[in-house]
Amino acid sequence: MRYFFNLYIKGVIIGIGKIIPGVSGSVLAMSLGIYEEAIKAINHFFKDISRHFKFLFVVGLGIITSVVLTSNIIKYFLNHFYLPTMLLFIGLIIGGISLFLKKIKQEKTTKVDIGIASIVFIGMIVISIFSQEKSFEIFNHLNDITLFLILGIIEAITMIVPGISGTVIFMLIGCYNKLIDFLSNLFVIDNFKILVSFGIGIVIGTLIVVKLIDYLLNKYKTKTYMAILGFTISSILLLFIQTLNNSYSFTQIIIGLLLLGLGYKIARKIN
């Protein structure tokens, strides 16, 4: 029972993280120790239906619960308490990395593996710099059904590939606010067709990407781990830069640092 409760809480944290710009749901999943198991559960679902269904159901329930119930709350806290909110989630990511580092230490790493982590790290920094130069809105001419099908595919890809924040991508294409408004009113009858379209997009994106990730974890485990580590460290650095790019009051800084520590301890505790 405690196992499933912890899974549910981890799902809630991932769901909240999906809403916050710059936070990668897959990095949180990795930091919380359920990323690899989630990939296996999706890709090999029919090999152990009972076990994989329970795992995906509990995590998915946590994600859906937090997205539906906290979308407006998170928007409020980001608008009024940006620094403390972001530092809390940065603490969650940092707190979970120790578990991932233990996994890497169990593998035999080479200079090539370290090179992969370095290339991914530098690549993410470069991509982030260029992506911030211009925000573009290219989907305004699409109807909602088509738009949310595409957004669903993007959501699935960014949810599975570590280090890529779906919210940042949605901001770049000018769809973030529209998506948040939709998630805030997820069960309104008028949104049913959009919900189905969004869900189909998520399924399509998941089936495509999860096969690739599962293959890489099976065939090139250490190299994949090092690439994920590069994604994760770059994400933490970029989140810090993004968060500290404004001026804050002394009180906000103190509260933010306390929440950074709290997030770290929560991640260590539930792992």
pLDDT at residue 52 tops 80: yes
Range 78-84 average pLDDT: 87
pTM surpassing 0.85? no
Where helices occur in the chain by DSSP H, the ranges are 2-19, 25-31, 35-43, 49-80, 82-105, 111-131, 144-160, 166-172, 176-184, 192-219, 221-243, 250-270
Q: Are 55 and 38 in contact (CB under 8 A)?
A: yes
pLDDT at residue 64 tops 70: yes
Distant-in-sequence, close-in-space partners of 265: CB < 8 Å, separation ≥ 6: 91, 95
What does DSSP assign to residue 112? H
Average per-residue pLDDT for the chain: 82
**Long-range own/partner contacts, residues 181-188 (CB < 8 A, 24 or more apart):** 182/148, 183/19, 183/67, 183/68, 183/71, 184/71, 184/72, 186/67, 186/68, 187/68
Segment 139-188, tens digit of pLDDT: 666 788 888 899 899 888 878 876 666 766 776 666 777 777 777 776 67
Query: Mutual orientation of helices 2-19 and 82-105 as an angle, nearest 10°?
Result: 130
Q: Are 205 and 155 in contact (CB under 8 A)?
A: yes
Of 124, 136, 130, 132, nearest in space to 175 by CA: 136
Quick one: pLDDT band at residue 264, thresholds 50, 70, 90? Answer: confident
What does DSSP assign to residue 46? G
Per-residue pLDDT at 139: 61
Quick one: pLDDT band at residue 46, thresholds 50, 70, 90? Answer: confident
Sign of CA dihedral 156, 160, 165, 169: negative
Segment 106-131, tens digit of pLDDT: 778 888 989 999 998 998 888 777 66
Per-residue pLDDT at 54: 93
pLDDT at residue 255 tops 90: yes
Per-residue pLDDT at 197: 92
Of 73, 87, 102, 54, nearest in space to 15 by CA: 73
Element (H, E) at 249: none
What percent of the chain has a predicted confidence (pLDDT) above 90?
A: 17
Segment 199-238, tens digit of pLDDT: 899 999 988 888 888 888 888 888 888 888 888 788 788 8
Sign of CA dihedral 187, 191, 196, 200: negative
